[in-house]
Amino acid sequence: MPADYRSVTYNQSGLDLDEKRGRDRFANVRFSKIGWVKIRYHRPIPDRATIKEVTFKKETIGEWFVSFGLKTDDANLSEKPDVNTLDASNSVGIDLGILNYIHTSDGEIVDWLDLEDKCERLQREQRELSRKEKGSNNYEKQRRVVAKVKRHIERKVLDYQHKITTWLVREYDAVFVEELNVKGMLEQSHNARNKQDASWRQFITLLEYKAALYGTHVVQVEGRGTTKECASCGVETAKPIWVREHSCPSCGFETDRDANAAMNVLQRGFAELGLGWPEDTPVETVTATDTTQFESVSASHVVETGSLGA
């Protein structure tokens, strides 16, 4: 294949998949004008799925990957529960945070994935690359090292997001999340360290994809003002980013800043679906100044609880 081409896409007429020729997680694909290629599955192709196209691609690390475009039977998707059955006990609002990865309206805090060591290694390898003569063999070798470290970080983030989204759609019948100005979030100087692993658009895309599989409602709501607005009485109070507590001067309601935002997301989600606000709300279960009820969930815990369905 010419060096100028890094990917080729075949439709159904240009390929042939033979899973019988392989063993375990291996199979063979015949591409027209290339021949048989042995591949290793990342995950098996689902039953009753039809292969529509296959992309044969060379990554920046120098390795080749095969991506299958599949058409699945809609009958395999779980039916979503009737919206009239939704209440505060089976629904959740999600605040995508800065200090924490997510904060839920019912008191769960999921920590950021610890990538400090890996990001430091990436910086070291990038500095080493900058010392190499561009176009030399040593430069190309080091470029691949940098690409592998980047890929490892991206895969860790993607796997973590798979675990979190699987946990959410299994736990709740409805998940409400704010529409984000991701560009604005990441352009702020205090968020610069999170550029590598935020990927909020990817998170929401995965959440919607998993929701279709598990039969869960996912609704994006207007995110403007969720932090300022009191979840108990609706009065807005300005808060600089360094103020981490919500304290309403009107009704006296006090809680964590991100918890208040998540509660507002939940309320807006019910409004978006045209539902009345249920009587048993998270706000009513939180007493003033009581932030101890919000339980921090470590990264390892999320991986463990979400590993079965990711």
Q: How far apart are alpha carbons 167 and 242 in whole angstroms?
A: 30
Residues 86, 300, 200, 129, Cα dihedral to 10°: -170
More confident residue, 309 or 17: 17
The confidence score (pLDDT) of residue 185 equals 55
- Is the pLDDT assigned to residue 159 strictly greater than 80? yes
What are the phi and psi torsion angles at 205 (to 5°)? Answer: -60, -45
The predicted pLDDT at position 92 comes to 92
**The predicted structure's pLDDT at residue 6:** 73
**b/e map 49-62, b = 16+ CB within 10 Å:** eebeebebeeeebe
**Mean pLDDT, the chain, whole residue set:** 76
pTM for the whole thing? 0.71
- Residue 173 has what pLDDT? 92
Q: Looking at residue 33, what is its pLDDT?
A: 77
CA distance 290 to 253: 10
Tell me the C-alpha distance between 220 and 175, whole Å.
Answer: 9
Instruction: Flag whether pLDDT at 35 surpasses 90.
Output: no
* pLDDT score at 107: 82
Of the listed ranges 59-68, 83-92, 136-145, 182-191, the least confidently predicted one is 182-191
Q: Which two tokens stand for residue 154?
A: 């991206």
Q: Check whether 222 has a pLDDT greater than 80.
A: yes
Is it the case that residue 128 has pLDDT exceeding 90? Answer: yes
- pLDDT tens-digit profile of 236-283? 888 777 878 888 888 888 888 888 888 999 989 888 888 876 554 544
pLDDT higher at 292 or 11? 11
The residues spanned by each domain of the chain are 7-74, 79-306
For residues 57 and 306, the model is more confident at 57
Can you give the three-state secondary structure of the chain, one letter per residue?
CCCCCCEEEEEHHHEEEECCCCCCCEEEEEECCCEEEEEECCCCCCCCCEEEEEEEEECCCCCEEEEEEEECCHHHCCCCCCHHHCCCCCEEEEEECCCCCEEECCCEEECCCCCHHHHHHHHHHHHHHHCCCCCCHHHHHHHHHHHHHHHHHHHHHHHHHHHHHHHHHHHCCEEEEECCCHHHHHHCHHHHHHCCCCCHHHHHHHHHHHHHHHCCEEEEECCCCCCCECCCCCCECCCCCCCCEEECCCCCCEEEHHHHHHHHHHHHHHHHCCCCCCCCCHHHHCCCCCCCCCEEECHHHHHHHHCCCC
pLDDT attached to residue 167: 93
**Distance separating alpha carbons of residues 235 and 249, to the nearest angstrom:** 8
What is the token pair recorded at 108?
A: 């769960």
Residues with catalytic annotation?
A: 95, 178, 258
Return the pLDDT at 112. Answer: 83
Band the pLDDT of 3: cuts 50, 70, 90: very low
**Tell me: the pLDDT tens digits for 287-304?**
333 333 444 455 455 544
pLDDT band at residue 142, thresholds of 50, 70 and 90? very high
pLDDT reported for residue 31: 78
- Lowest mean pLDDT of 115-119, 161-165, 243-247, 263-267, name the range: 243-247
Is residue 220 over pLDDT 60? yes
**pLDDT value of position 285:** 41
For a pLDDT cut of 70, what percent of the chain falls above it? Answer: 75
